[in-house]
Amino acid sequence: MRMLHVAKRTEEAYITWVYRYFCFARDLHTHWVHPSQLADREINASLTQLAVDRNIAPSTQFEALAALLFLY
């Protein structure tokens, strides 16, 4: 991200969202799973959980999606 000159605050936010995604996937599988083994199902479930259960604003959901897109 630094090579792409992404803002430090954006970098920090993306790291936080990716960490939350890994924790969410761990809870689904009851153990840590490598990102290459996670599929669209986990991404959709994670974003749905943000929207439905946590009532996160659409702009924040988009930020979480952008972080996951950057990860993959």
**Was domain 8-71 assigned CATH 1.10.150.130?**
yes
Q: What is the pLDDT of residues 13-59, one digit of tens each?
A: 999 999 999 998 888 888 888 888 888 888 899 999 999 999 999 99
pTM equals 0.84
The domain segmentation of the chain, as residue ranges, is: 8-71
| CB-based contact 22:40 (threshold 8 Å) | no
pLDDT of residue 8: 94
pLDDT of residue 32: 84
pLDDT over 90 (residue 60): yes
pLDDT of residue 10: 94
* 3-state SS string for 10-62: HHHHHHHHHHHHHHHHHHHHCCCCCHHHCCHHHHHHHHHHHHHHCCCCHHHHH
Of 9 and 31, the one with more pLDDT? 9
Round to whole Å and give the CA distance between 49 and 24: 9
| Backbone φ and ψ of 10, nearest 5° | -65, -45
